[in-house]
């Protein structure tokens, strides 16, 4: 039988403690003392871990890819989610390229940890630890000479102890509400060579998404471990939630702000070490905001979750989600402001188009709002407006199949969007127009902007 010891220590200055979303960082200076104890703190393990964490910062600040490499596991189990990237990277080679890209594009780096917690889970076979912290990152863009600062970069780091040394296995960082300074660079997505089959972990991960879809606090409560050291980093909040009550308050807030939540396109990889597992990937988020019924669509929330096997099965102990770079104009906090299209410009004779105008513009001044502009729609390839960054993967698939909009396909689409693309955000938020004569009127109207 293995004896598991789990313990938590405050890192550096303080732990992040907090209550309500939207409030500023509430910090309690714990002077490096334990904030929760499920077992005796092994100071040697945590001291070594702190050292590994500091060495990671030094390798980062000095842009030393060799040193960075020494700190990481080199096998396919390595993964990362970087602030300026729109997807997770799997395998050390891809993670290495992301570091290299950062080192090539930023210089004069200063990095300091503001606050955070370390959670260590160890048994006779080894140990896994994770550090949730907030950091200040300053630097200069190498290409433009422009200085930049990320005052509050939130980070999840997972370490694994092998042969007496701590190694990084996962790194996830983002700066809330910051448009990434550099263009997203896309690496070819390489799956781990040896995908982990862990049906129980996957089922637990699925239950999480169902709880979100059902907006069920009860389900969410059952999915999380009940220990004091569970943590959550939510996309639209600048601090980590620590402790079950605070974590649950963060879900309650999300549920109460939205009438209806849709979760699609879940992608994940599972990593498993004994009684600890983590999943890395992304999901697409749709919601109708409670206050004004405004439609919110986030094409990609990048996510890391850590799970622990308890007597009752796999439970979440950490969640870190952030909005992918392409979606900033329509993120969870700022989805308002658009969609209030001036109906007068749609013309009196086209009141039916008002149903679309909530999300689409057409005409000489038309831009992309919730949906893409509809100028020149007839003969236009599906999913082809270049500067509309929020197409769903479903419509991109149609585009790749050569699908384009004609009177017939458009009529079918607006009669019942779900029929053509069940997972499209438009299908989620718009039931369609059953009345054929109304559809005809809209099509005639759109024709006047298509020649
Ligand atoms: C609640 C918001 C919403 C409403 C209302 C809505 N749409 Fe959309 N529409 C979208 C979104 C979002 C997309 C992108 C779909 C995707 O990426 O899968 C879209 C896509 C489209 C497309 C495909 C565009 C392209 O570039 O391929 C057409 C055409 C379209 N809508 C027409 C309409 C018409 C006509 C109406 C009114 C009858 C309408 N929509 C109502 C949100 C909406």
Domain contains 214 = yes
pLDDT at 194: 65
Atom 6 (ligand 1) nearest CA: 356
Domain contains 135 = yes
Instruction: Tell me the CATH number at 168.
Output: 3.10.450.50
Domain shared by 110 and 142, yes or no: yes
Name all contacts of 340-349 with Cβ < 8 Å and 24+ positions apart: 341/369, 346/445, 347/445, 349/445
Domain shared by 341 and 242, yes or no: no
With contact defined as beta carbons under 8 Å apart, do 18 and 238 qualify? no
**Does pTM surpass 0.85?**
no
pLDDT at 295: 85
Domain shared by 57 and 156, yes or no: yes
pLDDT at 237: 81
Q: Is the CB of 250 under 6 A from ligand 1?
A: no
The distance between the two most distant Cα atoms of the chain, rounded to a whole number of Å, is 77
Q: Is the CB of 443 under 6 A from ligand 1?
A: no
Q: Is the CB of 355 under 6 A from ligand 1?
A: yes
Query: Which of 330, 377, 424, 426 maximizes ligand 1 atoms within 8 Å of its Cβ, making it the mutation to test the pocket?
Result: 426
Atom 7 (ligand 1) nearest CA: 426
CA 285 – ligand 1 centroid, Å? 16
Q: Is the CB of 442 under 6 A from ligand 1?
A: yes
pLDDT along the chain (451 residues), means of 10: 54 34 32 39 83 92 95 90 87 92 91 84 84 90 89 93 91 80 49 74 96 95 90 86 89 90 89 92 89 84 95 94 65 31 39 83 83 92 88 91 95 95 87 92 88 71
Domain contains 208 = yes
Domain contains 1 = no
Domain shared by 266 and 389, yes or no: no
- Across the beta sheet with 240-242, what order do the strands follow? 240-242, 231-233, 313-323, 295-310, 276-289, 258-273
Domain contains 299 = yes
pLDDT at 297: 84
pLDDT at 341: 31
CA 371 – ligand 1 centroid, Å? 5
Q: Which residues contact 397 (CB under 8 A, 6 or more apart)?
A: none
- 303, 329, 355 - which closes a domain: 329
Selection from 313, 300, 294 nearest residue 265 by Cα: 300
- 283, 301, 329 - which closes a domain: 329
CA 166 – ligand 1 centroid, Å? 50
- 329, 346, 375 - which closes a domain: 329
Whole-angstrom CA distances from 291 to 294, 295, 343, 357, 392 are: 8, 11, 21, 20, 25
Domain shared by 152 and 20, yes or no: yes
Domain shared by 196 and 314, yes or no: yes
CA 179 – ligand 1 centroid, Å? 25
Domain that residue 172 falls in: 7-329
CA 427 – ligand 1 centroid, Å? 8
Ligand 1 atom with minimal separation from the 388 CA: 26
Domain shared by 121 and 143, yes or no: yes
Number of Cβ within a 10 Å radius of residue 159 = 26
Domain shared by 195 and 323, yes or no: yes
Domain contains 55 = yes
Domain shared by 177 and 260, yes or no: yes
Instruction: Tell me the CATH number at 430.
Output: 1.10.760.10
Domain shared by 308 and 398, yes or no: no
CA 335 – ligand 1 centroid, Å? 16
Total domains in the chain come to 2
Domain contains 409 = yes
Domain shared by 307 and 352, yes or no: no
Domain contains 32 = yes
Domain shared by 280 and 366, yes or no: no
CA 410 – ligand 1 centroid, Å? 10
Give the residues across from 113 on adjacent strands: 135
């Amino acid at each position: 039988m293995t004896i598991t010891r789990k313990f938590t220590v405050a890192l550096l200055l303080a732990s992040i403690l907090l209550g309500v979303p939207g409030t500023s960082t509430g910090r309690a200076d714990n002077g490096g003392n334990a904030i929760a104890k499920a077992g005796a703190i092994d100071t040697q393990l945590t001291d070594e871990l702190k050292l590994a964490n500091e060495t990671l910062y030094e390798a980062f600040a000095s842009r030393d890819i060799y040193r960075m490499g020494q700190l990481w596991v080199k096998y396919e189990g390595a993964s990362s989610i970087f602030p300026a990237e729109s997807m997770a990277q799997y395998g050390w080679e891809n993670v290495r390229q992301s570091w290299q890209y950062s080192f090539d594009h930023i210089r004069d780096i200063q990095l300091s940890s503001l606050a955070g917690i370390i959670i260590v889970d160890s048994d006779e076979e080894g140990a896994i630890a994770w550090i949730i912290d907030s950091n200040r990152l300053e630097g200069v863009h190498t290409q433009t000479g422009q200085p930049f600062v990320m005052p509050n970069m939130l980070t999840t780091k997972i370490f694994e102890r092998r042969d007496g040394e701590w190694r990084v296995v996962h790194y996830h960082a983002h700066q809330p509400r910051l448009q990434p300074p550099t263009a997203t660079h896309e690496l070819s997505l390489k799956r781990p060579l040896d995908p982990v089959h862990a049906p129980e972990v996957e089922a637990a991960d699925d239950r999480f998404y169902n709880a979100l879809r059902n907006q069920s606090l009860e389900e969410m409560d059952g999915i999380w471990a009940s220990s004091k050291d569970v943590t959550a980093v939510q996309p639209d909040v600048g601090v980590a939630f620590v402790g079950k009550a605070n974590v649950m308050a963060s879900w309650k807030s999300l549920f109460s702000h939205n009438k209806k939540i849709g979760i699609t396109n879940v992608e994940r990889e599972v990593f498993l070490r004994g009684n600890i597992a983590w999943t890395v990937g992304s999901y697409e988020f749709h919601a109708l905001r409670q206050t004004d019924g405004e439609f919110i669509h986030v094409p990609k929330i990048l996510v890391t979750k850590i799970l622990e096997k308890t007597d009752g099965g796999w439970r979440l102990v950490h969640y870190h989600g952030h909005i992918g770079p392409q979606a900033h104009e329509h993120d969870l906090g700022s989805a308002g402001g658009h969609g209030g299209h001036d109906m007068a410009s749609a013309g009196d004779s086209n009141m039916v188009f008002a149903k679309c105008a909530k999300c689409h513009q057409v005409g000489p001044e038309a831009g992309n709002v919730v949906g893409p502009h509809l100028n020149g729609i007839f003969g236009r390839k599906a999913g082809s407006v270049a500067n509309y960054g929020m197409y769903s993967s479903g419509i991109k698939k149609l585009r790749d199949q050569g699908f384009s909009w004609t009177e017939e396909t458009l009529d079918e689409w607006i009669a019942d969007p779900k029929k053509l693309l069940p997972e499209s955000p438009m299908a989620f938020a718009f039931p369609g127009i059953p009345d054929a004569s109304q559809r005809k009127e809209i099509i005639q109207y759109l024709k006047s902007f298509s020649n």
